[in-house]
Amino acid sequence: MSALLDVRGLSIAFPKATPVRDVSLTVEAGETVALVGESGSGKSLTALALLRLLPERARIASGEVLFGGRDLARLGDRELRDVRGRDIAMVFQEPMTALNPVLSVGDQIAEVVRLHQGLSRGAARARAVELLDLVRIPEPQRRVAEYPHELSGGMRQRVMIAIAVACSPRLLIADEPTTALDVTIQAQVLDLLDALRRDLSMGLLLITHDLGVVAEWADRVAVMYAGRKVEEAPFEVLFATPLHPYTRGLLAASPRLEAGQHCSVGPLNEIRGSIASAAGEKGCAFAPRCPLARAACRIAVPDLVSIAPGRLSACPVTTAAPVSEACHAAPVG
Amino acid sequence: MRQLPRILTAVRRTALQSVPTIVGIVILNFFLLRLAPGDAADVLAGEAGAATEETLAALKAKFGFDLPVLQQLGTYLWNLAHFSLGISPRYNQPVAELIAERLPNTLSLMGAALGFALLTGIALGAVMASFAGRVPDKVLSVLSLLFYSIPSFWIGLMLIVLFAVKLGWLPSGGAETIGAGFSGGEMLLDRARYLVLPAFSLALFYVAIYARLTRGEMLEVKAQDHVRTARAKGLSPFAVATRHVLRNALIPVTTMAGIHLAGLLGGAVVVETVYSWPGLGRLAYEAVLGRDFHVLLGILLLSSLLVVAINAAIDILQAALDPRIEVR
Ligand SMILES: Nc1ncnc2c1ncn2[C@@H]1O[C@H](COP(=O)(O)OP(=O)(O)OP(=O)(O)O)[C@@H](O)[C@H]1O
Ligand code: SF4
Ligand SMILES: [Mg+2]
């Protein structure tokens, strides 16, 4: 059986830059895949490209986005619109601005069910109330008539989720759904997403820069750095034996994982330097920040190689000597 | 419309608050008009040609122009408090009657011009925004710049030359076919034919303004996050442009339109003169020439009332368009 979503060799280009290169990714039905990387690594562009929602000057330079046997990157505009919001839905990072300020939340939810399910005005309204209830908004009858500015950030993100799951999509893409929210609200929203994924048996592509989020909710993790996927593994494997030095840095820098994580080099766990150093790098984009970098790393971009089934890494140095140079301590257990 | 009760109190409050403003405007105008040399009696006597000192004095006494200025003001305000705008020496008719005769013509001209300007301007702006940077946008931009810079009297004259003189499709002036005795639908059609050219001349400038404003606002809204959400729902580009982009862009456009209504009254003077349209603008113009201060004061008073009413209406409209704005 083929995957629900199968992205192959996706590259995204602006007139003067190519911020996403050759990214491949699969999501199975009912599975949660996390796409992790720090700010600017190209996660949002990748997500937007799946539904061709890229900013105006950006385009898909190459690659395929296979979904249900069709390539969304080449699908006709009309057919693509039928997929958007119905088969694949999206939740965005900024709940403060992602909703239309002059339409009531009920209207914004009703809009999508009227469009894809042809419900009447009244039926769509009733469905909007149901959906608000589904995303656990108290007093949905009253809330349905309210406007976004009358709701808190967490509530708005729930409304966004209600819009996204309104037509029971097969795939939900959530681009940093909790980054803008309070820590206590974050867990609630992620719990909600996870429950909905189970109940509606959706695939979930969860984009985040926070590995703490991944630990609790993801089945599989893909790590991106400077527009490329540098490592992929089931989450237990990734946490126990991260291969790519960038992944190790991320794990070490994640405060919530400190207790179970043995790869930290010292108390100062930040990855030194910034992603901007990747610009103009000929070989491995991480070389300027990598503690293990050597001359060979700067010659050619390392290939993403398969190490075990479902396990990929793009660092020849650590792949060749995973044990000696990986974690100092024993694996978690 | 959860705001309805609040709207009503707001209207009542606006009405009360505007009373002192309007009295102030009347007093100010009263003194300003005294700055012009001469009065209606001088003009009437001058037009008569052979007026003696005695007849002039009699005229002045009849209208009270011989009294001290403050006393004249007192009389005017006293009359005003009894809802009387005084009598026009020139037309020998109550000012209120004169204005009431002309008001419908001016209102229909302004309404038609503003309605046309808004509809066309917003539509053109929406087209420009959809094709931003491409040929249709550039052509319309040049066109709107033209509309913006050509004076309305010139447009008026050229339209008369083309449609009334050359083609003979539309009348060149007036407000209706005199003595035709139309009624019902025929009358409306006849009036509409007379309205087309003046309304169009008056509107063009505003078409240009609304088109450019709508274009700019739509491009700004288009870049906002919620438009991407709308596209992610699977809405068609048209639905996104109208329901989500235009809907938000209309808020500043309506504010602008409200501000313009007062200016439209000024522009009406020129257009009404070119088309000999029997409206308030021309009445005001004639009143200035005839030093008919009572008529002028009446018109100015009415304009200020109109501006107050329009501002209140705009506040309400804005609250209806934008839920973030509370009716104060
Ligand atoms: N409109 C744009 N024009 C030019 N370059 C852009 C544009 N949008 C994004 N980029 C480039 O693409 C890169 C990836 O951006 P993207 O938004 O996908 O990052 P991200 O991983 O989602 O980061 P974040 O955590 O900040 O959301 C950025 O470094 C930026 O340089
Ligand atoms: S290839 Fe070299 S520079 Fe790149 S991550 Fe591996 S060790 Fe570091
Ligand atoms: Mg992002």
Shared domain check, A179 and A294: no
- Give the A-side interface with B, CB within 8 Å: 48, 51, 53, 81-86, 89-90, 92, 94, 97-104, 111-112, 115-116, 145, 147, 149, 160, 163
Q: What is the pLDDT of residue B327?
A: 60
Confidence of residue B233 (pLDDT cuts 50, 70, 90): very high
Ligand 1: atom nearest CA of A41 is 21
How many separate domains does chain A show?
Answer: 3
Query: Which residues in B lie closer than 8 A to residue A90 (C-beta atoms)?
Result: 232
CA of residue A26 to ligand 2 center, whole Å: 25
Q: Are residues A284 and A225 in the same domain?
A: no
A5 & A83 share domain: yes
- Say whether A84 and B324 touch across the interface (CB within 8 A): no
* Residue A209 forms part of a structural domain: yes
Looking at ligand 1, which residue's alpha carbon is closest to its atom 28?
A40
Beta bridge partners of A23: A10
**Which of B131, B220, B226 best probes binding to A when mutated, by most A CB atoms within 10 angstroms?**
B226
Write out residues 56-115 of B within 8 Å (CB-CB) of A.
Answer: none
Q: Tell me the nearest-neighbour CA distance from B323 into chain A, angstroms.
A: 6
* Spatial CB neighbours of A278, under 8 Å, sequence gap ≥ 6: A225, A226, A285, A286, A288
Distance between B232 CA and the closest CA of chain A, angstroms: 6
Residue A277 lies in a domain: yes
Residue A287 and residue A278: Cα distance in Å, rounded? 8
Least confident span in A81-85, B133-137, B212-216, B276-280: B276-280
**Nearest CA to CA, how far is B22 from chain A (Å)?**
35
Q: Is A14 helix (H, G, I), strand (E, B) or coil?
A: coil
Q: Is residue A264 part of a domain?
A: no
Instruction: Find the domain containing A72 and state its range.
Output: 1-87+170-240
pLDDT for the residue numbered A313: 93
Q: Are residues A67 and A175 in the same domain?
A: yes
Q: Which residue has the tokens 């504010």?
A: B255
Residue of B nearest to A166 (CA): B233
Least trusted range by pLDDT, from A87-101, B163-177, B298-312: B163-177
CA separation (Å) from A248 to A261, A314, A324, B187? 10, 13, 14, 85
Lowest mean pLDDT: which of A204-218, B34-48, B256-270, B305-319?
B34-48
A10 inside domain: yes
Can you state the angle between helices B95-130 and B280-289, rounded to 10 degrees?
130
- Contact yes or no for A101 and B233 at CB 8 A: no
Burial class of residue A181, CB neighbours in 10 A (0-12, 13-18, 19+):
buried
**For B319, which residue in chain A has the nearest alpha carbon?**
A102
Chain A / chain B CB contacts < 8 angstroms: 74
Indicate the residue of B2, B231, B324 with minimum beta-carbon distance to A53.
B231
Sort out which chain A residues have CB atoms less than 8 A from B131's CB and list them: none
Q: What per-residue confidence (pLDDT) applies to A122?
A: 93
Contact A115 B228 (CB under 8 A): no
* pLDDT tens by residue, B24-54: 888 888 888 777 777 777 777 777 676 677 7
pLDDT per residue over B42-99, tens digit each?
A: 777 777 676 677 777 777 777 777 777 788 888 888 888 777 777 777 788 888 888 8
Q: Which pLDDT belongs to residue A5?
A: 95
In angstroms, how far is the first alpha carbon of chain A from the final one?
34
The C-alpha atoms of residue B217 and residue A35 are separated, in whole angstroms, by: 36
Expressed in angstroms and rounded, the spacing between residue A92 Cα and the centre of ligand 3 is 9
Which has the closest alpha carbon to A85: A52, A36, A129?
A: A52
Residues A180 and A157 in one domain: no
Distance from CA of A293 to the nearest CA of B (A): 40
The β-bridge relationship of strands A203-208 and A32-36 is: parallel
Q: Which domains does chain B have, with CATH numbers?
A: 4-95 (no CATH), 98-289 (1.10.3720.10)
Q: Which of B2, B219, B233 to mutate to test the interface with A (most CBs of A within 10 A)?
A: B233
Both A10 and A77 in one domain: the answer is: yes
Atom of ligand 2 nearest to the CA of A290: 8
Instruction: Give the 3-state secondary structure of residue A35.
Output: strand
Q: Indicate if A2 and A63 belong to the same structural domain.
A: yes
> Residue A126 — φ and ψ, nearest 5°?
-60, -40
Residues A33 and A144 in one domain: no
Look at residue A262 and tell me if it is in a domain.
Answer: no
Let me know if residue A261 belongs to a domain. no
Residue where a domain terminates, one of A166, A199, A227: A166
Alpha carbon nearest to ligand 1 atom 1, residue: A55
Residues of chain A with C-beta less than 8 angstroms from the C-beta of B247: 100, 102-103
Same domain, A284 and A324: yes
| Nearest ligand by distance to the CA of A226 | 1
Residues of B within 8 A of A82 (CB-CB) are 234
The dihedral sign for the CA sequence B221, B223, B226, B228: positive
Q: How much is the pLDDT for A247?
A: 92
Per-residue pLDDT, A167: 94
Domain boundary among A166, A195, A216: A166
pLDDT score, position A259: 45
Distance A294 CA to ligand 2 centre (A): 7
The contacts of residue B261 (CB under 8 Å, 6+ apart) are B110, B114, B306, B307, B310
Residue after which a domain boundary falls, among A116, A139, A166: A166
C-alpha A268, offset from chain centre: 27
CB of B229 within 8 Å of a chain A CB? The answer is: yes
For the cut 70, the answer to whether the pLDDT of residue B247 exceeds it is yes
Give the DSSP H or E segment for A33.
Answer: strand A32-36
Q: What is the pLDDT of residue A255?
A: 65
What string of pLDDT tens digits covers the 333 residues of chain A? 578 999 999 999 999 899 999 999 999 999 999 999 988 999 999 999 999 999 989 999 999 999 998 999 999 999 999 999 999 999 998 888 999 999 999 999 999 999 999 999 999 999 999 999 999 999 999 999 999 999 999 999 999 999 999 999 999 999 999 888 888 888 889 999 999 999 999 999 999 988 887 888 899 999 999 999 999 999 999 988 899 999 998 888 776 555 444 444 444 456 777 777 777 778 899 988 888 888 888 988 999 989 888 899 999 888 876 544 444 433 333
Which of B207, B190, B200, B209 lies closest to B271, judged by CA?
B200
Ligand 3 centroid, distance to A48 Cα (angstroms): 10
pLDDT, residue A220, reads 94
**The domain spanning residue A42 has which CATH number?**
3.40.50.300
**Chain B hits for A86, Cβ within 8 Å:** 234
In this predicted structure, the answer to whether residue B182 has a pLDDT above a threshold of 80 is: no
Closest listed ligand to the CA of A21: 1
Nearest bound ligand to the CA of residue A287? 2
Residues in A touching B219 (Cβ below 8 Å): none
Minimum CA distance residue for ligand 2 atom 6: A315
Q: What is the pTM of this model?
A: 0.81
Chain B contact probe: residue of A80, A87, A99, A100 with most B CBs at under 10 A: A100
Specify the higher pLDDT residue, A122 or B258: A122
Q: Give residues (CB < 6 A) around ligand 2.
A: A 244-245, 284, 286-287, 290, 292-293, 297, 302, 315-318
Does B322 touch chain A if contact means CB atoms closer than 8 Å?
yes
Same domain, A228 and A302: no
Shortest CA distance from B318: residue in chain A: A102
User: Is residue A44 situated within a structural domain?
Assistant: yes
Secondary structure class of A324 (helix, strand, coil): helix
For A328, other C-beta atoms within 10 Å of its C-beta total: 9
Mutate to test the pocket of ligand 1, among A35, A41, A56 (most ligand atoms within 8 A of CB): A41
Please check whether residues A246 and A232 belong to one and the same domain.
no
Does ipTM top 0.90?
Answer: no
Instruction: Please list the residues that pair with A5 across neighbouring strands.
Output: A27, A67
Position A263 in a domain: no
A182 and A161 assigned to the same domain: no
